[in-house]
């Protein structure tokens, strides 16, 4: 399940729609100086994505769908420079062939995030000319870290060589013993922290976003940036919709609540910056 990443065209320079102190970019920047509690020792997580008015990321699973306008796209590329890593799930990598870098003019390599692709079964049909590898070879971004399950790692797989040739690495982590299909966020984030990734911007896709918005995982999200585009995609798309929650008396309550909320119109879009209450 994959939304589009903001990699299709180089964004224009950011424009000030209001005072800079009230912008989502400024809110996110200040948030990254905070510590993540109570899970000390983990990277700071910014969860960000673009959605339609009916809370959908794409028209259909595996379909690249452009939602962000030029100004909100520019904001996304700015935020990438404020994080050590940028993380997506394999479905987004398959659908978009993204570069996973900041395309703001003048961004040097030191400010580029490390691309991280979660691929438990290593199903990504990575090629030597895949965009993320080409971007790294051209010095326009950092080489990727592909995280795979131990059963999926095969010595001699040419994809491993291509990643290494570009300066990246394939990281092997044992999958959750109970699930066998993915990793717990605690284990995954602690493992990524060991690679000196202190802050990670998570951009999708739908499975990754919905997983982080589960009640037990919300504590890992330090900041949230959501771009709302003025369109309805209609039924059948990839939707962000957290699991229903109930209080101790069995009464249905909000699945996710927010604090320190800021809204900013950017062109045709509206962007929300907030912290998750958990």
* Inter-residue contact 77 to 48 (CB < 8 Å): no
Cα–Cα distance for residue pair 254/218, rounded to 1 Å: 13
Determine phi and psi for 9, rounding to 5 degrees: -145, 150
Assign 64 to helix, strand or coil.
coil
User: What are the structural domains, with CATH classification, of the chain?
Assistant: 25-277 (3.40.430.10)
| Residue position matching structure tokens 């570009």 | 166
pLDDT tens, residue by residue, 175-193: 987 777 889 999 999 999 9
Q: Residue 14: what pLDDT?
A: 43
C-alpha 92, offset from chain centre: 10
Residue 35: per-residue pLDDT: 43
pLDDT at 25: 53
What dihedral angle (degrees, nearest 10) is formed by the CA atoms of 267, 55, 213, 262?
Answer: 30
pLDDT tens digit string along 17-32? Answer: 333 444 445 545 554 4
Q: State how far the alpha carbon of 256 is from the alpha carbons of 46, 63, 125, 252, in Å.
A: 15, 27, 35, 12
Residue 32: the pLDDT is 42
Looking at 45-54, 165-174, 238-247, 256-265, which range is the least confident one?
238-247
How much is the pLDDT for 11? 52
pLDDT digits (tens, 9 = 90+) for 199-217: 999 998 999 999 999 999 9
Instruction: Give the per-residue pLDDT at 26.
Output: 57
pLDDT in tens, 77-134: 999 999 999 999 999 999 999 999 999 999 999 999 999 999 999 999 999 999 999 9
pLDDT tens track for 220-275: 999 999 999 999 999 989 999 998 888 888 899 899 999 999 999 999 999 999 99
Average pLDDT value over all residues in the chain = 87
Burial tier of 66 (Cβ tally within 10 Å: 0-12, 13-18, 19+): middle
**Across 37-189, where does the E strand assignment appear?**
44-51, 56-58, 85-89, 114-118, 145-149, 169-173
Q: pLDDT-derived band of residue 278, with 50, 70 and 90 as boundaries?
A: confident
What integer pLDDT is reported at residue 206 of this predicted model? 93
151-165 average pLDDT score = 96
- Higher-pLDDT residue of 278, 204: 204
pLDDT band, very low/low/confident/very high, at 13 (cuts 50, 70, 90): very low
Helix (H, G, I), strand (E, B) or coil at 238: strand
pLDDT of res. 34: 44
């Amino acid at each position: 399940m994959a939304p589009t990443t903001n990699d299709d065209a180089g964004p224009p320079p950011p424009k000030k729609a209001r005072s800079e102190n009230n912008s989502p970019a400024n809110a996110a920047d200040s948030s990254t100086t905070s510590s993540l509690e109570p899970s000390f020792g983990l990277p700071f997580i910014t969860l960000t994505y673009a959605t339609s008015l009916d809370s959908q990321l794409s028209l259909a699973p595996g379909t690249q769908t452009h939602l962000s306008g030029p100004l909100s796209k520019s904001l996304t590329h700015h935020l990438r420079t404020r994080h050590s890593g940028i993380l997506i799930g394999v479905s987004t990598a398959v659908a978009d062939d993204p570069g996973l870098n900041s395309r703001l003019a003048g961004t040097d390599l030191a400010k580029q995030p490390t691309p991280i692709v979660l691929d438990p079964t290593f199903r990504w049909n990575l090629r030597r000319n895949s965009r993320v590898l080409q971007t790294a070879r051209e010095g326009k971004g950092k080489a990727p870290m592909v995280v795979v399950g131990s059963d999926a790692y095969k010595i001699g797989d040419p994809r491993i060589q291509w990643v290494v040739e570009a300066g990246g690495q394939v990281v092997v982590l044992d999958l959750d013993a109970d699930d066998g299909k993915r990793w717990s966020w605690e284990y995954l984030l602690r493992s990524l922290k060991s690679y000196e990734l202190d802050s990670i911007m998570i951009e999708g896709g739908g499975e990754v976003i919905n997983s982080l918005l589960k009640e037990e995982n919300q504590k890992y999200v330090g900041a949230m940036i959501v771009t709302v585009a003025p369109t309805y995609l209609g039924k059948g798309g990839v939707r962000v919709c957290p699991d229903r929650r109930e209080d101790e008396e069995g009464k249905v309550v909000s699945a996710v609540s927010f604090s320190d909320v800021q809204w900013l119109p950017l062109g045709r879009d509206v962007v929300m910056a907030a912290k998750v209450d958990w």
